[in-house]
Amino acid sequence: MSQAVMESDRNQAPVLDIDPYDTEVLRSPYAFQERLREAGPIALIPKYDVYAVGRYEECATVLKDHEAFTAKGGIGIQDIRQPGDFRVPNRMLENDPPGHTEIRSVLNRYLSPIAIRKMKEKFEERAAVLADELVEKGEVDGVADIAETYILDVFPDAVGIDLPRPNILAIGEMRFNQSGPQNELYEQAMQKAQPYLDWFEHSCQREGVRPESIAHALFEAEDRGEFPEAGLASNMTRSLVGGGADSTMAGVGHSLCKLAENPGQYDLIHADPKKAGLAFEEALRLEPSFHVSYRTTYGEVELSGVKLRPDTKVGVYFGAANRDPRKFENPDDFIIERRSAGTHLGFGIGAHICIGQMIARAEAAAILGALARRVKRIELAGEPVYKPINQMRMLQNLPLRLVAA
Amino acid sequence: MPKVTLINPDDSRIDLDVEVGDSIMRAATAAGIEGIVGDCGGGMSCATCHVVVLDDAYLAKTPEMSLTEDQMLDFTAMEREPNSRLSCQLVMSEEMDGMVVRVADPQL
């Protein structure tokens, strides 16, 4: 990097000398998030030579303005257009309109509210069965026994792919560390996933896809020539598995944790289980499943008066934006009646807003609602432990005591 | 503040104040109007804030329909009509003052 470039960064974007992927930051990101917001509208992270945004307005702008901030450089810290990155790009997410939109509108047909309404009944049936078992046990782990067990029970049928727990957890850990820097977490996750790589390679193919599922519909759509290019049904199935399993498990875990920590808020959903969805939304505001996602400056662009370098990665920190006091009153408080759906950035915003958000909402509302009907109080039976993952915010353990109603 | 009138499925009418720049969906859910669900909060993902604009002259004053809204209107629980809109996309302007919309039924 030339001295001139450094000078201009010093004059323009403030330098924030902190590692957003430090294990301690990943375990407790709040201090980092505040420093990022208060550094300025955008900051330069010298360790990786990338920009970072943490204020709500700027985060939303970077995600929405795809002409200034392209997704084609990939959603991770590496520029996938450069040699050396071996990740399989997501041909919809790591793309911009209009190419992106052409693919997305095909997907929209098979992830439409009509398709999802049909899934809801099954989600609720399975949630009722699991909730009965959980109440019987009393002491459970909110991550392993509730979030993982429930999502890995209902999501494979919905998406149409078998998702054995050890396989999908190892692959998820690999994918969401792989989109960060090549640190120790990255190396460890790659190693742990080795035994499952072959399974993952073959899991999103046409063979073995479950009937009446989203993947099944996508392969049929491909046969009818609905997609603009070949191979998209498999590529999109792969991205639905990646986007729909880990992030939803994370969101259900965070919801349970916040409800246990805020008994007054739990009382609201116990009194009216239809409000379970509000708790999920507010948990996603406070603890969005994704720590960060990237765009890349397209040419020399300006953001809030700061001149940015071309072809440089910009990390959007969702958790920082969702706790920005410029946007949310008492931002650190868990208040389900805030009704922040559509305002918080937990599902992103703009062209790439989460395409499976209604599936996630239906799943979360089903399991949280089923518990709310049966459980008078959810108590923490130990300290919640977070799992450091480069791109994600997720719990590892959540010891809970369910007090039957 | 400009107003819109919502006609509920039971034919009752509600006059709703909507701030300029706010969407009819947001104003309706904030006011606790049951017929407008708006699960996704305005992300054009749930199609549960479906309304029908009664007067063509008013329809012309509403924000232009995007491709995504048009597509989502094919997935509403009540079949779309020529003047169907998602109320999350009806961002209020002074010109829209006095508009009357029918709330679709069902939404879910």
Domain that residue A232 falls in: 3-67+89-404
Mutate to test the interface with A, among B46, B70, B72 (most CBs of A within 10 A): B46
pLDDT band at residue A1 under the 50/70/90 scheme? very low
The arithmetic mean of pLDDT across residues A194-214, rounded, is: 92
Res. A356: pLDDT tops 90? yes
Q: How far is CA A303 from the centre of its chain?
A: 25
d(CA A148, CA A83): 36
ipTM of the complex: 0.87
Those of residues 16-45 in B touching chain A at CB distance below 8 A are 29-30, 38-43, 45
DSSP B52: E
| Minimum CA–CA partner of A117 in chain B | B108
Three-state secondary-structure class, residue B96:
helix
Nearest residue to A28 (alpha-carbon basis) of A367, A354, A364, A323: A323
pLDDT band at residue A10 under the 50/70/90 scheme? very low
Chain B residues touching A353 at Cβ < 8 A? 43, 45
Q: Residue A77 domain-assigned?
A: no
Domain that residue B79 falls in: 3-103
Chain B residues touching A339 at Cβ < 8 A? 29-30, 41
d(CA A404, CA A135): 6
Q: Residue A179 domain-assigned?
A: yes
Q: Residue B108 domain-assigned?
A: no
Q: What is the reported pLDDT for B84? A: 98
Counted domains in chain A = 1
DSSP A210: P
Range with the lowest mean pLDDT among A56-60, A168-172, A394-398, B41-45?
A: B41-45
Q: What is the reported pLDDT for A276? A: 97
pLDDT band at residue B98 under the 50/70/90 scheme? very high
> Does the beta-carbon distance from B41 to A114 stay under 8 Å?
no
Rounded to whole angstroms, what are the CA distances from A151 to A147, A246, A365, B46? 6, 9, 12, 21
Smallest CA–CA separation between A342 and chain B, in Å?
4
Which residues does A contribute to its contact with B (CB < 8 Å)?
A: 101, 105, 108, 112-114, 117, 277, 281, 339-343, 347, 349, 353-355, 357-358, 361
Q: Residue B44 domain-assigned?
A: yes
CA angle at residue A12 from A6 to A16, to 5 degrees? 70
| Pairwise pLDDT comparison (A7 vs B98), residue with the higher score | B98
Those of residues 40-69 in B touching chain A at CB distance below 8 A are 40-43, 45-48, 67-68
> Does the beta-carbon distance from A358 to B46 stay under 8 Å?
yes
Q: Which residues contact A63 (CB under 8 A, 6 or more apart)?
A: A69, A295, A316, A345, A348, A349, A350, A352
Report the half-sphere exposure of A299 (CA within 13 A, side-chain side).
5
| Minimum CA–CA partner of A348 in chain B | B43
Chain B residues touching A285 at Cβ < 8 A? none
Res. A225: pLDDT tops 90? yes
Q: What is the reported pLDDT for A9? A: 52
| Pairwise pLDDT comparison (A185 vs A90), residue with the higher score | A185
Q: What is the CATH number of the domain that holds B88?
A: 3.10.20.30
Counted domains in chain B = 1
The arithmetic mean of pLDDT across residues A167-190, rounded, is: 96
Res. A4: pLDDT tops 80? no
pLDDT band at residue A201 under the 50/70/90 scheme? confident
Query: Closest to B43 (Cβ–Cβ): which among A114, A339, A347?
Result: A347
Q: What is the reported pLDDT for A88? A: 76
d(CA A91, CA A239): 9
> Does the beta-carbon distance from B75 to A114 stay under 8 Å?
yes
- The stretches of A194-337 forming alpha helices (DSSP H) are 197-203, 214-223, 232-244, 246-261, 263-271, 276-286, 318-322
Which of B37-69 are b and which e, b meaning 16 or more Cβ less than 10 Å from the residue's Cβ? bbbbbbbbbbbbbbbbbeeeebbeebeeeeebb
Q: What is the reported pLDDT for A6? A: 52
The arithmetic mean of pLDDT across residues B5-34, rounded, is: 96
Mean pLDDT of chain A: 94
Smallest CA–CA separation between A133 and chain B, in Å?
29
**Residue percentage of chain A with pLDDT more than 90:** 87
Range with the lowest mean pLDDT among A101-115, A159-173, A308-322, B70-84?
A: A101-115
Smallest CA–CA separation between B81 and chain A, in Å?
17
Q: How far is CA A336 from the centre of its chain?
A: 20
Edge-first strand order for the sheet with B50-53 is B13-17, B3-7, B99-103, B50-53, B84-86
> Does the beta-carbon distance from B108 to A358 stay under 8 Å?
no
The arithmetic mean of pLDDT across residues B64-72, rounded, is: 92
Quote the strand ranges of A120-214, DSSP E. 139-141
Please report which helix (H) or strand (E) contains residue A298, including its range.
none
Q: Residue A25 domain-assigned?
A: yes
Res. A89: pLDDT tops 90? no
Res. A8: pLDDT tops 80? no
The arithmetic mean of pLDDT across residues A143-163, rounded, is: 97
Res. A85: pLDDT tops 80? no
d(CA B101, CA B35): 12
Instruction: Give the other-Cβ count within 10 Å of B101's Cβ.
Output: 27
Residue A400 dihedral angles phi and psi, to the nearest 5°:
-130, 150
Res. A86: pLDDT tops 70? no
Q: Residue A74 domain-assigned?
A: no
Q: Residue B17 domain-assigned?
A: yes
Rounded to whole angstroms, what are the CA distances from B29 to A273, B10, B47, B101? 18, 18, 14, 15
The arithmetic mean of pLDDT across residues A110-122, rounded, is: 92
- Residues A89 and A73: beta-carbon distance below 8 Å: no
Res. A295: pLDDT tops 50? yes
Q: Residue A178 domain-assigned?
A: yes
Res. B5: pLDDT tops 80? yes
Q: What is the CATH number of the domain that holds A264?
A: 1.10.630.10
Query: Closest to A357 (Cβ–Cβ): which among B45, B48, B67?
Result: B45
Question: How deeply is A267 buried, as exposed, middle or buried, from its count of CB atoms within 10 A (0-12, 13-18, 19+)?
Answer: middle
> Does the beta-carbon distance from B67 to A117 stay under 8 Å?
no
Res. B77: pLDDT tops 70? yes
Structure tokens, A330: 């008492």
Res. A363: pLDDT tops 80? yes
> Does the beta-carbon distance from A342 to B40 stay under 8 Å?
yes
Nearest residue to A77 (alpha-carbon basis) of A63, A68, A87, A92: A87
Q: What is the reported pLDDT for A3? A: 46
Which of A319-337 are b and which e, b meaning 16 or more Cβ less than 10 Å from the residue's Cβ? bbbbbbeebbeebeebbbe
Q: What is the reported pLDDT for A2? A: 46
Chain B residues touching A358 at Cβ < 8 A? 39-40, 45-46
